[in-house]
Amino acid sequence: MPEKTDLYGLTYSKFSEDSLAQVRLEAYGPDIGQNSWTLKSEYEGFLQDLGLGAGRRLLDVACGAGGPALFSARTTGCAVVGVDISGNGIQTATRLASEAGLSDRVTFQVLDANSTLPFHDGTFDAIICVDAFIHLQDRLVVLNDWRRLLKPKGRVVFTDSAVVTGLITNEEIAIRSPNAKCVFSPPGNDERLLRDSGFQLLRMTDSTTAMAGIAGARHSARARHEEGLVALEGKQLFSGFQRFLDCVQRLAAERRLSRFVFLAERL
Ligand SMILES: C[S@@+](CC[C@H](N)C(=O)[O-])C[C@H]1O[C@@H](n2cnc3c(N)ncnc32)[C@H](O)[C@@H]1O
């Protein structure tokens, strides 16, 4: 097997470069610094579902370069702790928090979210994890820990972008998992794990069609900025990423790999 490229790390180290910022703007519309299958409008819905406001504390699991965490703090007044395994992501997020004058309310730490996290019981009112559940394998451990970290009646929103809802080839699985461990789950598995870890599922939304649209839009925007992106990423990585986006778009459009949004409450 070839070495996996740290695509997330590379993206986050150059997150503020013009071509990447321009691609986000063209692909997502309003750019909230996301690196996911989420538009600003969907993310605003998440914040509403989580009941965030001043005095509340949010944990953003796998926060990437911190854009959505900063957006959460800015728009709701809440405090946020963001964690991610990418050192480059956390470095960029910390810089952006400082530039935004939000370092007193929004902090970031390098942590592996695939295990228990070093925070006290009941530290948070809400947890959000957008498009990173695919990277979490020990899900019962993770969900039990999220339950521990939440206050009673605390809420969680997470998305699973890799629910297998059709036939997928080994080649497609390889293209869909270019840069990190990826876990593909059968329908019903996340719901069962939520129940087993003491959460009540409040709502599950199928957002597969939106994922197909966003993957297609990212692919087209990147193609328009090929020259600038190749200068940042190199030709091989650029082509690999395009292949990845094309694969996500096709699998989602054909409803073979689906994305679900889960909203749950701690019992
Ligand atoms: C698709 S990105 C989503 C980032 C962010 N949530 C957003 O919406 O922009 C997935 C993120 O998961 C992070 N990640 C992957 N494995 C992880 C792990 N074991 N622990 C913490 N973060 C992880 C990656 O570094 C990456 O930032």
CA atoms within 13 A of residue 133's CA, in its CB half-sphere: 28
Q: Which of 86, 114, 138, 211 to mutate to test the pocket of ligand 1 (most atoms within 8 A of CB)?
A: 86
- How far is 103 from 119, CA to CA, in rounded Å? 19
Q: DSSP code of 62?
A: T
Q: Domain range for residue 127?
A: 7-266
CATH number at residue 67: 3.40.50.150
State whether the beta carbon of 73 lies less than 6 angstroms from ligand 1. no
Q: What's the CA gap between 265 and 180, in Å, rounded? A: 29
Q: Does residue 85 lie in a domain region? A: yes
The residue with tokens 């840069």 is 179
Statement: residue 65 has pLDDT above 50: yes
Residue 56 CB less than 6 A away from ligand 1: no
136 CA → ligand 1 middle, Å: 9
Predicted confidence (pLDDT) per residue in 201-246, tens digit: 999 999 999 999 999 999 999 999 999 999 999 999 999 999 999 9
pLDDT digits (tens, 9 = 90+) for 177-191: 987 899 999 999 999
In a domain, 2, yes or no: no
How far is it, in rounded angstroms, from Cα 143 to Cα 123? 15
* pLDDT value at 3 more than 70: no
Of 54, 80, 77, 56, nearest in space to 68 by CA: 80
What is the per-residue pLDDT across 106-133, written as a single tens digit (0 to 9) for each?
Answer: 999 999 999 999 999 999 999 999 999 9
Whether residue 1 lies inside any domain: the answer is: no
Query: 66 alpha carbon to ligand 1 midpoint, in Å?
Result: 10
85 C-beta closer than 6 A to ligand 1? yes
Token output for 254: 């054909």
Domain membership of residue 38 (yes or no) is yes
Kindly give the distance from the C-alpha atom of residue 95 to the centroid of ligand 1, in angstroms, as a whole number. Answer: 18
Give the predicted TM-score (pTM) of the model: 0.97
Residue 154 Cβ inside 6 Å of ligand 1? The answer reads no
Choose the residue to mutate in 28, 70, 85 for probing ligand 1, maximizing ligand atoms within 8 Å of C-beta. 85
* CA geometry: angle 172, 31, 16, nearest 5 deg: 85
Are residues 59 and 32 in contact, defined by beta-carbon separation less than 8 angstroms? no
**Is the CB of 36 inside a 6 Å radius of any atom of ligand 1?**
yes
Q: In the structure encoding, which two tokens stand for residue 14, read together?
A: 């150059």
CA distance 66 to 97: 8
- Total number of domains in the chain: 1
